[in-house]
Amino acid sequence: EIILTYSSNGIRFSISDISSPQGRLISCLYRERSSISLYDALHLPSPDAELLHFSNQTMVLVAETLLKFKKICEGYGVSHDCIQIFATEAMRIAKNRDQMLQTISRTSGLTVSILTAEEESLYGAVGARSCFDKMDGLFMDLGGGSLQLTYVNTTLGPGYETAAAKAAQSIPYGAARLTLALEEQTTAALQKELQEKFKEAYERIVETFDVLKSKIADGDGVSLYLSGGGLRGYGSMLMHMDPIQPYPIPVVGGYIVSGVRFSQWREMLEANNQAVKIFGLSKRRRKQFPAIALVVRSIIETIPKIKSAIFCSGGTREGVLFMKLPCSIRNSDPSVHNLITGQDQDPSTISIVSRLLETIMPSQCPSLFTLSFLKQVARCTWVSQGHLHNASYFLHTCTSGDFVSLPGITHEFSAALALTLSTRWGSRLRPTDVQIQRNLEEFVGLETAWMCQYVGTAARFLAELCPVFSIIPHVLVESLSCEATFSKSLGKKRKKSGIQLRVTMPGKDCDLPGRDFGQLQGMWKKVGKGLSLDWKVEMEMVLSGSDEVINETIN
């Protein structure tokens, strides 16, 4: 499928694969952006154009750009009927839009659909939702010409998309429009005007959804799901100013901050005024940042309590593609797919390993370590066993490249998986990677970092015991069981906190490749190494069919 969005700040082109079995991931095969600002073309002085009219030069440039994209599609073997082009605010308000459409059709043979404000809100909200298993919060998309606002709650059941679209509000104050307005109005006057419009839109949405009204009344706060170039730019600034530096993950999608941090617009505005280059912010976005800060200020001064701000990589393009998927696939958890290795692996075997890893987890552990997370660990435990640098490879793979842009991946998920898989492969890291590891540990927090080492060691334990992936089912299911509890009475003096792990092993007659008990026990001694958290693992192994304890290791 080809999706081309034709927005106020630029023209974005992508080729995506939504075929089974990985369609839920909406994998992008090709992506390009043309920096033609249609909003500027309608408003800035030009020798051959009036206000709110595209000049002949702009129309020809846009048509030729679309023709170029069409040729790229042909190179990828994409049929004409799989190409879709959508236009938003700039085309909605252009007085000679019909002439623009004719020029495009004549030059490229392509047809452009102009989205209504409601349709734009729907696709934007669904695009943001495509990044997550579930979603419950206010969705906002700040483009160049407008700000879209609605409420998305997947727990409302079938039709939640329609409910979100019907409630959607469009405020004609995008980043480009506000930037131009700041040249003519005082900041205070524009802020007052913007906040009044935002407050009206917000109150209409609150009145539409009783569940949202209850959340606000109870004082728990609401989550914000933020999309569009303007708000993602604000997220990039927050990452630039994050307490952890250098920030270890390069993309803004999946970045989550508290309501308190999101509210620090003054500090972000001050940082924008510095001459230093900021990753993720172009010169154009830096110029628009004062306008973006006005929007953020309106948000925080209108909404009583913001629980968290979640930055989304998905937008209109992803929303269009997501709506093409069957309902059963749309409602599935994207993180259950094979996100990293891309290798075909027996699902039943992965399920066995992940369930076994689940038994090694104590009931008291961070909520991050879900079955979906453990499945990703299971998928990577036996891959590339001939490589010496897997610890470094997975540390980088999980925090950069395609992986961090996939649906279902928050920065916390990425960081924890990177630390876990690095431990699975022995944490053999070069000095430059050790700094990345330390930043990731600081990002997830001490307890989660410790648990990452614990889970990674569990994966290493299973791979050591059973080095061959194909023999896992009958060996692990028939003869291995684990029981883990969190305890505060470990160690020789019984005053240490940590995990008490009991593993029942195959009997002596079982011909397992990895029955080196000393090595199997010794690896648990390293859990917590390098962390300033005095937790321990106390582990014992028992032979099945007897009460014989092989040995007891107190870490």
Residue 250 belongs to domain with CATH number: 3.30.420.150
Residue 328 located in a structural domain: no
Same domain membership, residue 157 and residue 84: no
Indicate whether 301 pLDDT > 90.
yes
Q: Which residues of 313-348 are buried (b: 16+ CB within 10 A; e: fewer)?
A: bbbbbbbbbbeebeeeebebbbbbbbbbeeeebeee
Together in a domain, 50 and 149: no
Res 427 pLDDT > 80: yes
484-496 residue pLDDT tens: 999 998 888 888 8
Same domain? For 468 and 531 the reply is yes
Among residues 66, 83, 114, the one where a domain terminates is: 114
Residue 513 predicted with pLDDT over 80:
no
Same domain, 306 and 340: no
Looking only at the bridges linking them, the beta strands covering 306-311 and 222-227 are: parallel
What's the sign of the alpha-carbon dihedral 519, 522, 527, 531?
Answer: negative
Last residue of a domain, which of 114, 137, 171? 114
> Do 107 and 215 sit in the same domain of this protein?
no
Same domain as 134, residue 104: no
Range of the domain at 389: 334-554
**340 three-class SS:** coil
Q: pLDDT digit string (tens) for 305-338?
A: 999 999 998 888 889 999 899 988 888 888 776 5
> pTM for the complete prediction?
0.86
Same domain, 291 and 350: no
Does residue 45 fall inside a structural domain?
yes
**Do 59 and 130 reside in the same domain of the chain?**
no
142 and 26 within one domain: no
Reduced to 3 DSSP states, what percent helix, strand and coil does the chain have, rounded to the nearest 5? 50, 15, 35
Question: Per the domain annotation, does 321 fall within a domain?
Answer: no
User: 97 Cβ partners below 8 Å, 6+ apart?
Assistant: 54, 91, 114
Same domain, yes or no, for 287 and 254? yes
My answer on whether 237 and 277 are in the same domain is yes
Compute the C-alpha angle 9/280/434, nearest 5°. 160
In the chain, the number of structural domains is 3
Q: Calculate what percentage of the chain has a pLDDT beyond 70.
A: 91
The type of residue at 514 is: G
17 forms beta bridges with 27
Q: Are residues 190 and 83 in the same domain?
A: no
Top mean pLDDT of 162-166, 332-336, 478-482 is at 162-166
Residue 325 forms part of a structural domain: no
Please give the single-letter amino acid code of residue 274. Answer: Q
Q: What are phi and psi of 511, to 5 degrees?
A: -90, 75
End position of a domain, from candidates 315, 346, 367: 315
In a domain? residue 98: yes
Cα–Cα distance, 152 to 445 (Å, whole number): 30
